[in-house]
Structure 1
């Protein structure tokens, strides 16, 4: 499937596969998350360290895997939507990288709530939210990831690569997932990533099935 000697085929298939794997990891990460599975507070992390670690790892790789997928989407935007694609793509990639790093906080939750009283552990985590982390990590991570993915989908659609169901699906999936994640509601927490998997998965599969000429109209013949 991944021909290392053909740059167009490799990059196209890698980007398409990433668009499928990223929301799939997000969905699996939410399913494994102890809080989404029925826990009622952050103590669920300390009580289920294995599940928490698996969930945090899956969520981390969800954001990481979206990066090559976004680069692939931007690559395919030509003429209409180019400026939007370039700006949104840059913001999204930076946001995804920032947001993936925040998943490490779950591992600190495990240790703090296992070894310290709840009030003390909570105060430490609250004090750790320094202005630099909030302004330079959290806000760019969240805005870049969520809004950026939607805008990239809009640019991709404006270029005629997909129907408007794509950005609508991304928007709906993001909103539903955020509602579920903030309220620890499993129904919304699972439904949002499932919608994202359907939207990005359809585009990712279409990208994998493209010809090398569709991926790169100006491509040079691959040496034998």
Structure 2
């Protein structure tokens, strides 16, 4: 197996696995199952909270090679090449930031186990300084959302996939966020299911031997 084939298959496997991990993270999350507030639910089931955080961490992390492998098929100077570069600049730091954010779940679980719920909530609120919000949360969320959708548009513009790719990516992410904000588990799960179908289709394409060797876009 040559180097190009290895990276292509690694990217394809990452695109297949990442949304499945997101789906599993939502399924094992103790919060919707218990009907309690997140911190209280995490304190009651620290193992479940830790598993959820770990699955989320690797979901966002695996999307980094997946997106870069997907964008590698966009030819430099061709349709979508500028969008591919913008997508990489947004998605890579965004996804890395998103991968780091679930670490707070371990501290939330520990705080609610050791302190009264009101005191634990005050402690966690005090930790959310402007640097956390503007240096981690917002860049992670905005970079991930915009980067993934732009990556889909770039690949579609380069005719490496149909327009179902950016449409499925945008719809899957929107459903996931809407479900997370509303606390509706079924709505939350529908997002990762759609992303599994969308990214899985691209992942399977990358796992197949290419008909021609594309020039890298970045």
TM-score by length of 1: 0.92
Task: Give the counterpart of 2:59 among 58, 62, 72.
Answer: 62
Instruction: Return the alpha-carbon distance in structure 2 between the equivalents of residues 64 and 26 of structure 1.
Output: 11
Instruction: Return the alpha-carbon distance in structure 1 between the equivalents of residues 182 and 70 of structure 2.
Output: 32
Instruction: Return the alpha-carbon distance in structure 1 between the equivalents of residues 61 and 33 of structure 2.
Output: 24
Task: Give the counterpart of 2:4 among 5, 8, 26.
Answer: 8
The answer to whether the aligner puts 1:198 opposite 2:203 as a matched pair is: no
Deviation at 1:38, TM superposition (A): 4.2
Q: Could you say if the C-alpha distance between residues 119 and 216 of structure 1 is closer, same or farther in structure 2, counting changes exceeding 3 Å?
A: same
Deviations 1:118-173 (A, max 9, x none): 11111111110111111111110000111210111111111001111111111110
After TM superposition, the structure 1 = structure 2 runs for residues 28-47 of structure 1, keeping only pairs within 5 Å, are: 28-42=24-38, 43-47=40-44
Q: How many residues align?
A: 213
Task: Specify the alignment match of 2:48 in structure 1.
Answer: 51
Deviations 1:174-215 (A, max 9, x none): 01000111222110111110100000000110111132x534
Instruction: Return the alpha-carbon distance in structure 1 between the equivalents of residues 33 and 139 of structure 2.
Output: 28
Deviation at 1:37, TM superposition (A): 2.8
What are the ranges of 5 or more consecutive residues in structure 1 without an aligned counterpart? Answer: 219-224
Q: Could you say if the C-alpha distance between residues 199 and 38 of structure 1 is closer, same or farther in structure 2, counting changes exceeding 3 Å?
A: farther
Q: What RMSD over aligned residues (CA atoms) do the two structures have, in Å?
A: 1.3
Deviations 1:33-52 (A, max 9, x none): 11133433121111111111
The answer to whether the aligner puts 1:214 opposite 2:212 as a matched pair is: yes
Instruction: Return the alpha-carbon distance in structure 2 between the equivalents of residues 112 and 64 of structure 1.
Output: 26
The answer to whether the aligner puts 1:17 opposite 2:13 as a matched pair is: yes
TM-score by length of 2: 0.94
The answer to whether the aligner puts 1:125 opposite 2:127 as a matched pair is: no
Large movers: runs of 4+ above 6 Å: none
Instruction: Return the alpha-carbon distance in structure 1 between the equivalents of residues 123 and 173 of structure 2.
Output: 30
Deviation at 1:217, TM superposition (A): 5.7
Instruction: Return the alpha-carbon distance in structure 1 between the equivalents of residues 20 and 113 of structure 2.
Output: 30
